[in-house]
Chain A
Amino acid sequence: MTSEQANPIAQVLREHPQDLLEQWIQVQMDAPWVRLDLIGEAEIRAQSAELIELLGAACQSGNVSDIQADEWGRVRDFLRELSRSRATLGFSPTETAQFVLSFKMPLINMLRQASPSLDMQVWQTMWQASVLVDDLALYLLDVYMTSREQVIKRQQMELMELSTPVVQVWEGILVLPIIGTLDTARTQVVMENLLQAIVETASDIAIIDITGVPMVDTSVAQHLIKTVTAARLMGARCIVSGIRPQIAQTMVNLGVTFADITTRASLADALAYAFAQLNMRVTRNESS
């Protein structure tokens, strides 16, 4: 019994789970960050009750400081799942963290009641300091996430610029290898680069190679058709190459047809076709 007496947190969690829960729910419902548009009170209540129970069990071990220890495994599992579900629902990182932080008030309140001799003034000052530091940490988390998102956005933009080269492989023949996904923004860049290159090189034929496109859904197909149509308006003939067997099959199922677009299985086939169109021939040297 001595170890239980030595640990007031474990004691409070074991003896007053219901009071803790009610106070905690009250705090969460009154908080400015509560997201009742994303989650109902019943769900908040269930999650809060479960965490109190798990905390109680973990604290019974006597370890109330090292949450990486084995006896805290179930608490960590619970929090991992909660974090994932809240992220899915659209909670921000700080709103997710607030769920746990808001438990501090009821927990400390309970502990204070257990020691009536505590100086009220001192307690209030300490509480203020604690909340202040929490708020600073949350602000930092928010700013950190924002700057990380900005880095990712910038990298995406740079990648888009890099990944849409237009190559002149022969006089009058352009090749546009597309690698990755073709979305609306990317199509815009691809189309601009291609049309620009058609004007600059006065090319007759543009080969759009999709060997590096993992899948063609109706959206990608539509973007390809738009690009081909625009190139045609500029007076260039287009060939779409690199249509792999599994992509051909899914396109048939989808009902997408490149009816009036010249297509070839490989880039080599497309190039041979382009040479033929321009009345050119590749011949082998008849030496020795």
Chain B
Amino acid sequence: MKVLSHETLPLRQPEDVVLVRNKVRNWMQEEGYRLIAQTRLATAVSELARNALDYGGGGVARLEKVQNGSREGIRVVIEDRGPGIADVEQAMRDGYTTGSGMGLGLGGARRLVDEFEIWSQPGQGTRVTIVQWR
């Protein structure tokens, strides 16, 4: 997969979540992605960025325009150096939360995007990579 351009944004306060997802939306608008694809990826990014902020103590979001053969897409990597997730499978399950949310964010984000990959190590942090193809 080839990265055509990228940008890294901080996730330190709630306003940053809005900034990151608006950036994703703007990128996709410029590139002429369909409205539904824009909404799906922006919503997934919103869920994951808020997780990084609320549970990971903040982190960074890396936005990439990628190309795989003739296929173009947007990849977003959201990473934090928080406490990590002990049981990823459990965390992905709908309705499970250690906080006060609905417990739908992680599983929901996976259903919204074309590709979803999660890495987490207790004590080291969590990294979620998602891709939406055109």
- What residues make up the interface of A, taking CB atoms closer than 8 Å to B? 84-85, 87-90, 181, 183-184, 214-219, 221-222, 245-247, 249-250, 253-256
Contacts and interface: CB of A to CB of B under 8 A. Distances in A.
Contacts of A218: 47, 101-102, 104-105, 108
Taking each of A87, A183, A249, A254, which has the highest tally of chain B beta carbons within 10 Å of its own beta carbon? A254
The 5 A-B pairs of least Cβ separation, nearest first, read A254-B108, A246-B39, A217-B46, A253-B111, A218-B102
Contacts of A183: 14, 18
Given A247-B39, A253-B108, A255-B108, A88 B8 contact: yes
B41 to A, nearest CB: 10
Contacts of A90: 10, 12
B127 interface: no
B101 A255 contact: no
Contacts of B50: 217, 219
A132 to B, nearest CB: 33
B66 interface: no
Contacts of A85: 8
Contacts of B40: 249-250, 253
A246 B25 CA distance: 14
Interface of B: 8-10, 12, 14, 18, 21, 25, 35-36, 38-40, 42-43, 46-47, 50, 60, 94, 101-102, 104-105, 107-108, 111-112
A255 B60 contact: no
Contact of A88 (B39, B42, B60, B112): B60
Nearest to B12: A90
Given A214-B25, A222-B102, A256-B102, A250 B39 contact: yes
A254 B12 CA distance: 24
A255 B104 contact: yes
Given A222-B102, A255-B108, A215 B39 contact: yes
B86 to A, nearest CB: 21
B101 A219 contact: yes
A145 B43 CA distance: 32
Nearest to A249: B36
Given A89-B10, A247-B39, A255-B108, 10 more contacts: A88-B8, A183-B14, A215-B21, A215-B46, A218-B108, A222-B102, A246-B35, A249-B36, A253-B40, A255-B94
16 contacts: A88-B8, A88-B10, A183-B14, A184-B14, A214-B42, A215-B21, A216-B43, A218-B47, A218-B108, A219-B50, A247-B39, A250-B112, A253-B40, A254-B47, A254-B108, A256-B102
Contacts of A216: 43
Contacts of A219: 46-47, 50, 101
Contacts of A245: 36
Contacts of A249: 36, 39-40
A148 to B, nearest CB: 15
B115 to A, nearest CB: 15
Contacts of A246: 35-36, 38-39
B23 to A, nearest CB: 13
Contact of B42 (A184, A215, A255, A256): A215
Contacts of B21: 215
A19 B40 CA distance: 54
